[in-house]
Chains A and B, each alone.
Chain A
């Protein structure tokens, strides 16, 4: 069910939600967090769909803020107003969705705009699905969040966004470029779990040109293994295609996925016939779900963006 509230107040939205829950005999107490989505009208539906998916794992209240694009009627021209939508039931995953479309001065007071609508006594997660502020922790909404999720890869200038995020890193920040790597990192770690436990002397990472996750993967590997990592760009690749690790005895361990869209990875280990395993490109829904399940500061990510990155890109500042 979608209820549209034109030129409304937050107190009206709150009341509407309470009434709806009461009418439908639902309890709204089980929500574990509030997910704030900061986006624009073009990316709204896409983001809400992902949030719905993730809310099945993490029952949450979703509040999306998008600046209003409604054509104004004459008298409204001069003033600030708020349009809203409340979605519930089949239109809202396992929680409820509130879409706020502020206009005018309200756009600059987004924190106090959402405070009355937050789930009481529960963590707040802020998510910028595409464009991220240069410094999320100084953003009004970001400042009150327990976790700040950005996605530099989907911003209009990924490298530039990442540069800003790195410069303004703060413990509660995380970028989805990192989340996209979890399965690769897990597979690589499990490769090294197996004997013989020999030192790794060099690593090569292959993938597309200008693909942030690959840089983060390389940065992580160089930090953890303390070895040089070279990056090989494959112009027609769409995601990471391979990691090759050379052991001190010259043996080569590799995890390859070519082409990435086939979702099948091949593992080669000295003395063993190659084995395949499904390794799909991680969906955004899975990434968001992983982030919502993890509200502690990610110290490994912190090291990767603050120290590892510089080892991979010594020429950056």
Chain B
């Protein structure tokens, strides 16, 4: 998969130039980002503290950042640059994946700047513009700057406008400007289009990096390798053998800290629209012509456009809201009692939907997507459940404990693959077949700590590698799938409560029972 980067934009003026020190056969050489800086909006937020800042440090520690590197924080707090530096150091120390080395830190710290201001304040953006220009001059960042919008989606338009007004959104000559926005991309088709219009008015479409941090590039590539580098999965990866597919993302946490964002959005918009539909597309798509971002998008788009919603949405979708209970050994409050949530909120914290894909490969195979907060444990997986063998040459008593075969792709935790199949119980007076698991885990078979998704992601942005993340077209298609379901749900009133720490509402259990299936207990 070395050619994932094939479609990077070549330098327009010298398309023929090739770095003589880079040889495609030289797989040892890592790509190091060129001179550049990154500006983080919302730098004091959770994401920035726990993920972005440590990821930047880890990249520096792995030697993948250039010597000419700047990091600018933009926030409301009335801090001096030293304050901010201490803040970064503290969070890096606490959350970094690699060892903390004072020498790496010292070098990184020299390029750290802070700009105080609000998004409405044009002067603050003027100061930001000056800071960035100063980095170009003093640190040699050569006009290459990335803007990370770690802010609520409602603030995207204003930040984009301000960047445009102070001239930061456009670059000259060889220099680049890139903007990184995190999901959610809107809350329905109309708002997604509007958001896209605002962003693309300011930034060049190629400079916009939409990311879904749940879905790291590593995960996507692992899935692609599993499906397309092997022979033994492809022949059974279709409606002839697959009975149904269950895609799950369960969280054990509640909405804590994200109440303001979450209420009114809900589980489906938060997770199904982007993450689960992407996982479904990757699982169901045909083999792409190459693994370049463009060819991958083509295949994902095809699958997403072939998705059919169930006719009876009431029977084939389910919603729930967590109620008070015990999360493992800890007592927790219900969604309606959470701070910042209105006591009559109808926002769902659990959502499950059945989708069908109208292609020859998948005709008649339902895809069940579910997600929820305060579920049994934190897990993300894709399970392909196979049909039973057409004939079992055993006494029926011998196979009463035999379930359906399954291939389970675990995304997190313990990224890997499990195959479930029947095996004879050793010994015994009579023949007995029972389900067993065969396990593969990346962690055990390869490196102890593979790079954080954010490291990959930030490095890709700085290198200008097109990310394997949804394009506008995919985002729009996803909303087209979800919008009718959301419309239907909005007519329903209160979602069914489920006890915290369980696997969701009864409605969801019944939804699968109707089709003769059962949710896995991941």
Name A's B-contacting residues (CB within 8 A).
30, 32, 56-59, 94, 182-183, 185-190, 192-195, 197, 200, 221, 224-226, 263-265, 267, 269, 272-273, 275-280, 290, 293-294, 296, 298-300
Is A30 in contact with B441, judged by CB distance below 8 angstroms? yes
Segment with Cβ contacts to A, from B63-71, B182-190, B404-412, B490-498: B63-71
List 7 A-B pairs, minimum CB-CB distance, nearest first.
Answer: A275-B67, A30-B444, A277-B67, A190-B32, A189-B21, A272-B140, A197-B17
Is B21 in contact with A192, judged by CB distance below 8 angstroms? yes
Q: Is B311 an interface residue, CB under 8 A from the partner?
A: no
Measured between alpha carbons, how far is A273 from B17 in the docked complex, in Å? 25
Is B445 in contact with A278, judged by CB distance below 8 angstroms? no
26 contacts between A and B (CB under 8 A): A56-B448, A186-B29, A186-B63, A189-B29, A189-B32, A190-B34, A192-B20, A193-B19, A193-B32, A194-B35, A195-B11, A197-B11, A197-B19, A225-B21, A275-B66, A275-B67, A276-B67, A276-B107, A277-B63, A277-B66, A278-B103, A278-B107, A293-B447, A296-B27, A300-B26, A300-B28
With A56-B448, A192-B21, A273-B140 already in contact, the answer to whether A183 and B68 are too (CB < 8 A) is no
Interface centre among B23, B26, B142, B441 (most CB of A within 10 A): B26
Contacts of B32 in A (CB 8 A): 186-187, 189-190, 193
Is A278 in contact with B101, judged by CB distance below 8 angstroms? yes
Q: Smallest CB-CB separation from A267: which chain B residue?
A: B67
Is B63 in contact with A279, judged by CB distance below 8 angstroms? yes
Is A188 in contact with B448, judged by CB distance below 8 angstroms? no
Is A300 in contact with B138, judged by CB distance below 8 angstroms? no
Q: Is B360 an interface residue, CB under 8 A from the partner?
A: no
- B456 CB to nearest A CB, Å: 17
Residues of B in contact, count (CB < 8 Å)? 39
Contacts of B441 in A (CB 8 A): 30
12 extra interface residue pairs, beta carbon distance < 8 Å, beyond A182-B29, A224-B23, A277-B63: A59-B445, A185-B28, A188-B21, A189-B19, A192-B20, A195-B174, A200-B20, A225-B20, A273-B138, A275-B140, A278-B60, A299-B25
Is A278 in contact with B104, judged by CB distance below 8 angstroms? yes
- B39 CB to nearest A CB, Å: 19
Measured between alpha carbons, how far is A298 from B138 in the docked complex, in Å? 40
Measured between alpha carbons, how far is A273 from B27 in the docked complex, in Å? 31
Measured between alpha carbons, how far is A263 from B107 in the docked complex, in Å? 12
With A30-B441, A194-B34, A277-B107 already in contact, the answer to whether A189 and B448 are too (CB < 8 A) is no
Contacts of B444 in A (CB 8 A): 30, 59
Interface centre among B20, B21, B23, B33 (most CB of A within 10 A): B21
Is A278 in contact with B63, judged by CB distance below 8 angstroms? yes
Is A30 in contact with B445, judged by CB distance below 8 angstroms? yes
Measured between alpha carbons, how far is A190 from B27 in the docked complex, in Å? 14
Is B448 in contact with A57, judged by CB distance below 8 angstroms? yes
- B406 CB to nearest A CB, Å: 20
Measured between alpha carbons, how far is A278 from B138 in the docked complex, in Å? 18
Q: Smallest CB-CB separation from B19: which chain A residue?
A: A192
- Per DSSP, are chain B's interface residues mostly helix, strand or loop, or mixed? loop
The listed residue (B26, B63, B67, B446) touching A58 by CB distance below 8 A is: B446
Contacts of B448 in A (CB 8 A): 56-57, 94
Contacts of B23 in A (CB 8 A): 224, 300
Measured between alpha carbons, how far is A193 from B8 in the docked complex, in Å? 14
Measured between alpha carbons, how far is A272 from B135 in the docked complex, in Å? 12
Contacts of B446 in A (CB 8 A): 32, 58
Is B28 in contact with A294, judged by CB distance below 8 angstroms? yes
Q: Smallest CB-CB separation from B64: which chain A residue?
A: A186
Q: Is B22 an interface residue, CB under 8 A from the partner?
A: yes
The listed residue (A183, A192, A263, A290) touching B103 by CB distance below 8 A is: A263
The listed residue (A190, A224, A290, A298) touching B20 by CB distance below 8 A is: A224
Q: Is B395 an interface residue, CB under 8 A from the partner?
A: no
Contacts of A58 in B (CB 8 A): 446-447
Measured between alpha carbons, how far is A221 from B21 in the docked complex, in Å? 8
Is B447 in contact with A57, judged by CB distance below 8 angstroms? yes
Contact flags (1/0) for B101-115 with A, using CB distance below 8 Å? 101100100000000
Contacts of A30 in B (CB 8 A): 441, 444-445
Contacts of B63 in A (CB 8 A): 183, 186-187, 277-279
Measured between alpha carbons, how far is A182 from B14 in the docked complex, in Å? 28
The listed residue (B25, B30, B447) touching A186 by CB distance below 8 A is: B30
Which chain B residues in 12-63 approach chain A with CB under 8 Å?
A: 14, 17, 19-23, 25-35, 60, 63
Measured between alpha carbons, how far is A221 from B23 in the docked complex, in Å? 12
Which chain B residues in 90-110 approach chain A with CB under 8 Å?
A: 101, 103-104, 107
Q: Smallest CB-CB separation from A57: which chain B residue?
A: B447
Measured between alpha carbons, how far is A283 from B262 in the docked complex, in Å? 48
Q: Is B480 an interface residue, CB under 8 A from the partner?
A: no
- B435 CB to nearest A CB, Å: 19
Measured between alpha carbons, how far is A277 from B22 in the docked complex, in Å? 21
Q: Is B139 an interface residue, CB under 8 A from the partner?
A: yes
Q: Smallest CB-CB separation from A220: which chain B residue?
A: B21
- A147 CB to nearest B CB, Å: 13
Contacts of B19 in A (CB 8 A): 189, 192-193, 197
- A173 CB to nearest B CB, Å: 15
- A193 CB to nearest B CB, Å: 6
Measured between alpha carbons, how far is A188 from B14 in the docked complex, in Å? 20
- B198 CB to nearest A CB, Å: 32
Contacts of A226 in B (CB 8 A): 20
Is A182 in contact with B445, judged by CB distance below 8 angstroms? no
Contacts of A275 in B (CB 8 A): 66-68, 139-140
Q: Smallest CB-CB separation from B68: which chain A residue?
A: A275
Is A269 in contact with B29, judged by CB distance below 8 angstroms? no
Is A300 in contact with B25, judged by CB distance below 8 angstroms? yes
Q: Smallest CB-CB separation from B441: which chain A residue?
A: A30
Contacts of B29 in A (CB 8 A): 182, 185-186, 189
- A122 CB to nearest B CB, Å: 10
Measured between alpha carbons, how far is A226 from B20 in the docked complex, in Å? 9
Contacts of B142 in A (CB 8 A): 194
